[in-house]
Amino acid sequence: MDNLSKEQLLLLQQNLTYEVYEQFMGMFDSYKEYLPEDRNERNKYILDTMKNHDYWGKIHGWGENRVYCHLPERKSVLMKNNGPHNVYSMFKGNTRKELLNFLEEFKKYTPATYIPSECMKVEKEEKLDEDYESSNIGFQQMPVMNGWIDDSVDIVKLERYEAVDFHQ
Domain extents in the chain: 1-31, 33-126
| Host H or E run for residue 88 | helix 87-90
Burial classification of residue 121, based on how many CB atoms lie within 10 Å of its CB (0-12 exposed, 13-18 middle, 19 or more buried): middle
Asked whether the predicted pLDDT for residue 166 surpasses 80, the reply is no
Our CA angle for 125, 122, 48, nearest 5°, is 70
Exposure string of 107-120, with b = 16+ CB inside 10 Å and e = fewer, is eeeeeeebeeeebb
pLDDT in tens, 28-40: 654 568 899 999 9
Q: Are 68 and 57 within 8 A, CB to CB?
A: yes
Instruction: Please give the Cα distance from 57 to 52 (Å, whole number).
Output: 5
Instruction: Please give the Cα distance from 150 to 37 (Å, whole number).
Output: 60
pLDDT in tens, 84-124: 888 998 999 999 889 999 999 998 888 877 888 888 899 86
